[in-house]
Homo-oligomer: A and B are copies of this chain.
Amino acid sequence: MTDLAKELAAVVGPAHVLTDPAVAMSYLVDWTGRWRGTCRLVVRPGSTEQVTAVIAACAAAGAPIVPQGGNTGLVGGGVPVDLPEAVLLSLRRLTDLGPVDRNGTVVAGAGSTLASIQQHAHAAGWDLGLDFASRDSATVGGAVATNAGGVRVLRYGDARRQVLGVEAVLASGALVSHVDGPMKESAGYDLGSLLAGSEGTLGVLTRVRVRLVPQLPARAVALLAVDGVAEAQAVLDSVQSEVDGLTAAELFLRDGLSLVLAATGAAPPFSRGWPAYLLLECGGRVDPLEALASVLADQAEVRDAAVASDATGRAALWRYREAHTESISAAGVPVKLDVGLPAAGLADAEYAIRAAVDEVAPGARVIIFGHLAEANLHVNVLDAPSDRVDAVSDAVLRTVAERGGSVSAEHGIGRAKPRWLGLTRSAADIAAMRRIKSALDPDGLLNPGVLFDR
């Protein structure tokens, strides 16, 4: 054992310092297989105090730190690529959940999975405003650090908007903490909002205070077949203006559904295939099925529809959407991009993205799905030659930027996209970000290579 390993073992216990690469493997490869790293060791502290001590020891040893939550990120932000000298700091043992207070706020350890917070909230009559398919592994610390989105953004906003305060260890070893007190405050800079979306480059989150939302006892889901993206948008616009309580509006397309049916063995939702599908969910105090169905009956763009308000029926419809990620991975290692676009021109943008990929990687398959209300498309490119991966990313991201879009809607920049950050953020913005980074982490200890090129 090296000196640093011994020192860390004294802090967290020898069982929580992993130096054998075979044992550490699950921390060093992301689940898509796209990002692989090596590191000096993996350390798994069990408390805020241990995180503080670990960071102090790493700083003293000059060892860069890569923080990691559930390792479900999609941009390599938690994988120590080309960082053999790094310490991988797993927050997964920080799973304490405080009581839900009468205002519906709860303090969760950074390593709490979204599912564990959801269950905890449900037991108190509340719910978490944040949800996505990797809920059983994704941690709240990771979700906040990356400002994750998911399927409830249209109703509740992104991860940053759920945060009332954070506890975090800075590179200096200082513990900033603002996880108790009243739920409304205007008293100084909001470090929680700054750390949200900073992808582990400014501090290591140890606890997060989140605002819960009222639990919706009744839900209805509709899966609609339509002729394309523009038609899906038209239906969504009508539903948004006529139905209360919309919680999700998810888009997927013919080719994505084919992969899902192949990977899951599920029966097709309709007797024939259609170009595009829109999954809508409404929630409220009373079953929203009737109100939703009545608005949908008037929509000329709806070619076929399946609706459900019982739990089994809803889960079956959601499965067509949520199985996309795993079904795409079952078909290969995709180039995964996550772009936001202006709502106007989204259908055109979809065609332009396909054309841009076809130009640099002819024959590659482009599987697109996403969150329609925010015009957030997940672009997955399968079968691109390995020497064309960067060219594919470049072609897609430039196409998006030319149309006023963003290179990341919800996955973050990570190690995948620093060189394209300038397509979305101005030089002055990036300079200000670098000044903040230097102020809080002057030695570049935290997650080097993420957000900013090294």
Contact = CB atoms under 8 A, between A and B. Distances in A.
Given A177-B428, A342-B182, A196 B187 contact: no
A429 interface: yes
B189 A436 contact: yes
A449 interface: no
Interface stretch (A32-40, A157-165, A272-280, A313-321): A157-165
Nearest to A374: B184
A297 interface: no
A189 B195 CA distance: 8
A152 to B, nearest CB: 12
Contacts of A431: 174
A435 B439 contact: yes
Nearest to A244: B285
Contact of A429 (B148, B178, B341, B430): B178
Interface in A399-454: 404-413, 421, 424-426, 428-433, 435-436, 438-440, 451
A378 B99 CA distance: 28
Across the A-B interface, give the 5 residue pairs with the lowest CB-CB distance, nearest first: A182-B340, A193-B193, A439-B439, A147-B186, A184-B374
Interface of A: 101-103, 125, 146-149, 153, 157-158, 160-161, 170, 174-178, 180-191, 193-194, 196-198, 202, 237, 241, 244, 284-285, 340-344, 371, 373-376, 404-413, 421, 424-426, 428-433, 435-436, 438-440, 451
11 contacts: A102-B237, A160-B190, A170-B432, A176-B426, A176-B432, A182-B341, A182-B375, A188-B424, A188-B425, A188-B433, A189-B194
